[in-house]
């Protein structure tokens, strides 16, 4: 098969591993820089051009679209979908997962365990919003944040009010969340491919830190997950409409709580911590599923 990887960097670990795994299985792999794709549309003739040439003849496309280029990246992916190229994750599912509030609303509707989470627009509503999530200590998150940046633990009500006011003063979009203290600075990343958890790791925050992100000094190790955790991760990926997803769970006293569902989960941390060939599993999923025009949406319900 001819498989395109939409990625900004051919040297990124995840991109390299997908190229390797695809080539090892006998496929022709092409890394395509998402931001260098340009497109034209005419009735029933969606074209994609790349560095002066027309891109065509792909059987599947693996989107690795960074959070900062979601808008353009999903437009490029939609163009592939309109041509009938099979996407590992569909553009609509990626857009959905990038909107943290929308994601939580969808997960909540399907009865998936979540930390109590609130959001508000007006500073006057802050005191009541804090009550709604159960008071301090609580976690305040910038909606645009990644890698733990913009996630703040407010130990007291006063601290929470000040931080929320400061963020609102900067016109930042935030959400306020119940602090799951019993998680002990750890979270569980479940890597889901095609409705199965194919690898799972526990990330533990550095001493004195509550955020377990590897970028914040956290460390990762292989973990055995419970049946309930496995089913929660699978269901969360399904609700989001993602074939490949990184589902992050907090272990709480009332069971697994979904923190976020990532549509371009990195391979480096999970492959290192678990020793599993996750890239090959993604390639096998493509081999099993990719047929022309097999995407459910083809961008139509964009």
Binding site for ligand ADP (CB under 6 A): 115, 139, 141, 145-148, 151, 177-180, 183, 187, 205, 210-213, 248, 250, 259-260
- Give yes or no for a contact between 61 and 286, defined as CB atoms under 8 angstroms apart: no
186, 129 in Cβ contact below 8 A?
no
Minimum gap (Å) between residue 4 Cβ and ligand ADP: 27
Shortest distance (Å) from residue 196 CB to ligand ADP: 23
With contact defined as beta carbons under 8 Å apart, do 116 and 178 qualify? yes
**CB closer to ligand ADP, 201 vs 290:** 201
Query: Quick one: 29 or 107, whose CB is closer to ligand ADP?
Result: 107
Q: How far is the CB of 154 from ligand ADP (least distance, A)?
A: 11
- Alpha-helical regions (H) of the chain: 13-24, 70-82, 91-98, 100-109, 126-132, 157-169, 227-240, 268-274, 278-289
Min CB(215)–ligand ADP separation in Å = 8
Our CB check for ligand ADP shows the closer of 66 and 84 to be 66
Q: Spell out where 155-276 has E strands.
A: 174-178, 186-193, 196-204, 219-222, 244-252, 255-262
Q: How far is the CB of 212 from ligand ADP (least distance, A)?
A: 4
Considering the complex, state which of residue 68 and residue 147 has its C-beta at the smaller distance from ligand ADP. Answer: 147
Q: Give the contacts of 165 (CB within 8 A, at least 6 positions apart).
A: 123, 126
74/212 with CB nearer ligand ADP: 212
Task: Compute φ and ψ for 83, nearest 5 degrees.
Answer: -80, -5
């Amino acid at each position: 098969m001819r498989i395109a990887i939409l990625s900004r960097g051919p040297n990124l670990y995840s991109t390299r591993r997908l190229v390797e795994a695809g080539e090892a299985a006998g496929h022709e792999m092409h890394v395509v820089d998402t931001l260098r794709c340009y497109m034209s549309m005419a009735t029933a003739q969606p074209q994609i051009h790349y560095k002066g040439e027309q891109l065509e003849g792909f059987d599947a496309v693996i989107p690795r679209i960074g959070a900062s280029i979601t808008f353009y990246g999903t437009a490029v992916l939609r163009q592939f979908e309109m041509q009938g190229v099979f996407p590992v994750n569909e553009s609509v599912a990626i857009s959905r997962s990038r909107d943290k509030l929308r994601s939580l609303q969808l997960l909540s509707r399907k009865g998936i365990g979540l930390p109590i989470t609130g959001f508000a627009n007006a500073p006057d509503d802050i005191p009541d919003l804090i009550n709604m999530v159960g008071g301090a200590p609580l976690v305040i998150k910038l909606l645009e944040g990644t890698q733990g940046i913009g996630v703040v633990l407010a130990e007291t009500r006063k601290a929470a009010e000040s931080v929320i006011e400061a963020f609102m003063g900067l016109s930042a979009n935030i959400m306020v969340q119940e602090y799951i203290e019993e998680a002990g600075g750890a979270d569980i990343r479940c890597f889901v491919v095609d409705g199965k958890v194919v690898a799972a790791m526990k990330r533990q925050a550095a001493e004195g830190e509550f955020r377990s992100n590897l970028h914040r000094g956290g460390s990762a190790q292989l973990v055995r997950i419970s049946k309930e955790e496995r089913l929660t991760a699978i269901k969360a990926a399904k609700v989001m409409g993602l074939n490949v997803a990184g589902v992050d769970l907090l272990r709480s006293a009332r069971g697994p709580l979904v923190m976020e569902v990532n549509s371009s989960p990195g391979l480096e941390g999970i492959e290192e911590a678990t020793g599993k060939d996750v890239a090959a599993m993604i390639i096998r999923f493509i081999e099993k599923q990719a047929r022309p025009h097999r995407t459910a949406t083809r961008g139509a319900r964009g």
